[in-house]
């Protein structure tokens, strides 16, 4: 509870760093363009420290398309 009300500077920096690493290497939601604020893949969403829900959805769909289908095709052989 206290951590939420008074976030430490270290946790703050860690959070920023985590977003930065994901952005730089285009991990997760950062691997797709955002349909909400129209930033390209590898660019942070315009809302600070948020990844728009629509973008997360896009990423989820993309991973479902690229990982699930080959698995199903491999099984069909």
DSSP, res 62:
H
3-state helix, strand, coil in the chain (%, to 5): 60, 0, 40
Residue span binding Zn ion (CB under 5 A) among the ranges 8-16, 18-26, 33-41, 59-67: 33-41
Q: Minimal CA–CA distance to 47: which of 21, 26, 29?
A: 29
Residue span binding Zn ion (CB under 5 A) among the ranges 3-11, 45-53, 56-64, 69-77: 45-53
34 touches Zn ion (CB under 5 A): yes
45 touches Zn ion (CB under 5 A): yes
Q: Which residues bind Zn ion (CB under 5 A)?
A: 34, 36-37, 45, 52
């Amino acid at each position: 509870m206290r951590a939420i009300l008074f976030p430490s500077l270290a946790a703050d920096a860690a959070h920023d760093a985590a977003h930065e690493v994901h952005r730089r290497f285009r991990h997760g939601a950062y691997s797709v363009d955002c349909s909400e604020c129209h930033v390209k893949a590898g660019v942070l969403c315009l809302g600070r420290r948020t990844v728009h829900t629509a973008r997360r959805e896009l990423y989820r769909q993309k991973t479902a398309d690229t990982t699930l289908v080959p698995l199903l095709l491999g099984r069909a052989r």
